[in-house]
Amino acid sequence: MRLRFSIIIFLLIGCAKKVPPPGKGEFDPPRVVVFSPGFGDTLKGSFRLSLEAQDNSGVYKVEIFRGGNLMGVYNLRGKKVVLDTLINLTEEGEVYLPDTIQIKVFDRWDNENSLKVEVFTRRKPPQKEGKDDKGTGNEGGEDSRGKTPPKSP
């Protein structure tokens, strides 16, 4: 009876958490150092992405985003990896505006570390809501009860 109880407990504990790769999992995210681009850099046409990532279980992949849009995925393998690549940048306007390059690094257990680098890229300025949009709604118009407020002197 005692052996049967032990086997049931062992099976329940063993099935409690399912992890993708075989063996003991780890929960520390990879460590990442970005060498290029630097914070505040102005990016034109293409830019060099240079980083180093390391993790005890091994680095699995690197994803690059610009303004939330995926620009590239790099499948890497190793406990310490170096990525040095040229990334083409779509220029969308004539004005340099603040932009964000986000770098996500995953280890083989899907632990993630993410860094954001604030840069300047050529983009179109944000569109305004309307031609004469001067505020958030009813400035100078009717209030919520349908009455026009008195004009200020």
46-66 and 95-107: which strand pairing?
Answer: antiparallel
User: Would residue 150 count as lying in a domain?
Assistant: no
The CATH number linked to 35 is 2.60.40.10
User: Would residue 147 count as lying in a domain?
Assistant: no
The residue among 82, 83, 75 whose CA lies nearest residue 107 is 75
User: Would residue 61 count as lying in a domain?
Assistant: yes
* 129-148 CB burial, b ≥16 within 10 A, e <16: eeeeeeeeeeeeeeeeeeee
Q: What mean pLDDT comes out for the span 74-103?
A: 92
Determine the Cα–Cα distance for residues 89 and 66; give it in Å rounded to an integer.
9
More confident residue, 43 or 24: 43
User: Would residue 149 count as lying in a domain?
Assistant: no
User: Would residue 141 count as lying in a domain?
Assistant: no
More confident residue, 124 or 152: 124
Determine the Cα–Cα distance for residues 29 and 110; give it in Å rounded to an integer.
8
Tell me what pLDDT residue 120 has: 94
Count of structural domains, the chain: 1
Domain carrying residue 114 = 20-123
**Structure tokens that stand for 31 in this block:** 């460590």
Tell me what pLDDT residue 64 has: 96
Least confident of 2-6, 25-29, 147-151: 2-6
User: Would residue 91 count as lying in a domain?
Assistant: yes
User: Would residue 94 count as lying in a domain?
Assistant: yes
> Is the model's pLDDT at 25 over the cut of 80?
no
Tell me what pLDDT residue 86 has: 94
* 113 strand-pairing partners: 105
Tell me what pLDDT residue 30 has: 96
How do residues 91-144 score in pLDDT, each as one tens digit?
888 899 999 999 999 999 999 999 999 999 988 777 776 555 555 555 555 555
Determine the Cα–Cα distance for residues 99 and 47; give it in Å rounded to an integer.
14
* N residues, the chain: 153
How do residues 40-67 score in pLDDT, each as one tens digit?
999 988 999 999 999 999 999 999 999 8
User: Would residue 58 count as lying in a domain?
Assistant: yes
